[in-house]
Amino acid sequence: MSISRFANPGQFMRLAERLMPFCAVGVILSFAAGIYVALYASPPDYQQGETVRIMYVHVPAAWLGLMIYLAMAIAAGTGLVAKHALADIFCTAAAPVGAILTALCLVTGSIWGKPTWGAWWVWDARLTSVLILFLLYCGYIVLRGSFEDHDKGGKAGAILLLVGVVNIPIIHFSVQWWNTLHQPASVLRMNGPSIDAGMLKPLLVMALAYVFYGGFVILLRMKTELLARRIEAAEMLQD
Interface positions with another protein (CB under 8 A): 132, 135-136, 138-139, 142-143, 146-147, 152, 155-156, 159-160, 163-164, 167, 170-171, 174-175, 177-178, 181
Taking the C-alpha atoms of residue 84 and residue 178, their distance in angstroms, rounded to an integer, is 40
* Cβ 157 to another protein shortest distance, Å: 9
Q: Which is nearer to another protein, 116 or 128 (CB)?
A: 128
Alpha helix stretches (DSSP H) within 55-196: 55-82, 85-117, 125-146, 150-182
Beta carbons within 8 Å of 176's beta carbon, 6+ residues apart: 125
Sequence-distant contacts of 81-84: CB under 8 A, at least 24 apart: 82/4, 82/7, 84/4, 84/7
Q: Which is nearer to another protein, 15 or 143 (CB)?
A: 143
From residue 97, how far is each of 2, 235, 238 by CA, in Å?
A: 27, 28, 33
The nearest distance, CB 207 to another protein, in angstroms, is 26
Output 74 or 171, the one with its CB closest to another protein.
171
Nearer to another protein, 111 or 168 (CB): 168
Q: Which residues pair with 17 in a beta bridge?
A: none
CA distance 180 to 99: 27
Q: Nearest distance from residue 88's CB to another protein, in Å? A: 13
Question: Minimum distance between the CB of residue 203 and another protein, rounded to whole angstroms?
Answer: 28
| CB-side neighbour CA atoms (13 Å) of 188 | 12
Smallest gap from residue 171 Cβ to another protein (A): 6
**Closest to another protein by CB, 13 or 162:** 162
87, 158 Cβ separation under 8 angstroms: yes
Q: How far is the CB of 148 from another protein (least distance, A)?
A: 10
- Between 20 and 165, CB nearer to another protein: 165
Contact assessment for residue 92 and residue 228, using Cβ atoms and an 8 Å cutoff: no
Q: Kindly tell me which of 138 and 204 has the beta carbon lying closer to another protein.
A: 138
- For residue 45, the SS3 value is strand
User: Min. distance of Cβ 124 from another protein in angstroms?
Assistant: 14
